[in-house]
Structure 1
Amino acid sequence: MSDVARVIVGVSGSLHSLTALHRAAEEARARQAVLVPVLAWTPAGGERNYRARPCPPLLRAWQEAAEGRLERALEQAFGGLPIGVPVQPLVMRGEPGRVLTELADRPGDLLVISTGRHGGVRGRVRRVLRGSVSRHCLDRAGCGVLAVPPSTLQEDLRALHRGIDLRELIAA
């Protein structure tokens, strides 16, 4: 099984990651590879806090929530599993960048990641404290990495919302 080509893609459920998921599916079809969508998660408060106060039922709940997020992401992106490509969804515990680079360890693998804005203020704080997932993957991956920029539709939606907000202010 180790000689099977894989396209591994980080999935969080954000619109940016859904764009990357679509691109990864295209790449998997073109390469006749297995699509491996990966959702990485850590316990709320981080691993250190969990080790200080372990709670197995809570850990199971977080794992199930992560599995649900990956299932919803696949549903939102494709209406279920994508057609015409073998899929091996994975939910793994750990920091996303580390999980993705450790998983994408074969020379023939392709790691697909999203780039761009993520998570608002909380996301910016997290990137300052831990660094960005995309930067980690680009710096450390042992295989090819495809960094997918945000969809232009995302900026169009932002512009539309800004326009609506301005019209509402003017009308008030």
Structure 2
Amino acid sequence: MIEDKPRVVVGVDGSPGSRAALRWALRYAELSDARITAVIACGWPALIDLTLPMQEDDIAANAKRELTKTVDETRALLATRVPVERKVVRDHAARALLDEAQDADLLVVGHRGHGGFAEALLGSVSRHCVHHAPCPVVVVHQTPGGDRAQDGPSQRGGVARE
């Protein structure tokens, strides 16, 4: 029964960190028979006095293409048949992930690793999720080798809760 399977939400934005998070989540799902929901957030950035030339529907369509591309490439890389539910959410990334994680057993996010002043100024989706998620959170740090098929739960990444 599908409701009995653990549900894992993973944030995907096409970045190397999110690809590492998706690889980790897919390997975890293979080991635990979990269900995967990949979430990409899109929406208007908070800009003052600036009009963007892109329509909101274009932003959502671009996000859907990026999500599809990332999931398909990552599943092929791992040669996995784990099904992935895909969701495009029109919201800020942290809020979208936290909302989606309300009934999840695990939330997996990548770490971009900007560090320093930029992270303090801009905030961090992974940090926000660790502090506010209703379930355990795994923050996956990209390994130096990039897209490696063997990345998975036994690699880097750990459950963090406050």
TM-score range with shorter-chain normalisation? 0.7 to 0.9
Higher share in helix: 1
Q: Which runs of 5+ in 1 are unaligned?
A: 155-172
Higher share in strand: 2
By how many angstroms is 1:95 displaced?
Answer: 1.0
Q: Which runs of 5+ in 2 are unaligned?
A: 147-162
TM-score by structure 1 length? 0.71
For residue 152 of structure 1, the aligned residue among 144, 152, 161 is 144
By how many angstroms is 1:49 displaced?
Answer: 7.1
Quick check: 2:22–2:74 contact (8 Å CA) kept in 1? Answer: yes
Does residue 142 of the first structure (1) align with residue 134 of the second (2)? Answer: yes
Does residue 131 of the first structure (1) align with residue 128 of the second (2)? Answer: no
Residue identity in the other structure for 1:25: L
Quick check: 1:114–1:150 contact (8 Å CA) kept in 2? Answer: yes
CA offset digits 1:36-82 (Å, max 9, x no partner): 11111122x438879xx8x9x81111110110111121233223997
Distance 1:67 1:49 in 2: 27
Alignment of 1:1-172 (within 5 A): 4-43=5-44, 45-46=45-46, 58-79=55-76, 83-106=80-103, 109-118=105-114, 125=118, 127-154=119-146
Distance 1:74 1:32 in 2: 18
Specify the SS of the correspondent of 1:84.
Answer: coil
Select between 77-86 and 22-31 the one with higher mean Cα deviation: 77-86
Report how many residues are paired: 145
Distance 1:140 1:133 in 2: 10
Among all aligned residue pairs of Structure 1 and Structure 2, give the percentage whose two residues are the same amino acid.
31
* Ranges of 4+ aligned residues in structure 1 off by more than 4 Å: 1-4, 47-50
Specify the SS of the correspondent of 1:105.
Answer: helix
Quick check: 1:33–1:86 contact (8 Å CA) kept in 2? Answer: no
Quick check: 1:16–1:151 contact (8 Å CA) kept in 2? Answer: no
Residue identity in the other structure for 2:63: A
Specify the SS of the correspondent of 2:41.
Answer: strand
RCO greater where, 1 or 2, for CA within 8 Å and sep 6 or more? 2
1:72–1:80 Cα change, 3 Å = farther
CA offset digits 1:92-115 (Å, max 9, x no partner): 111111111111112x51101112
Distance 1:19 1:152 in 2: 11
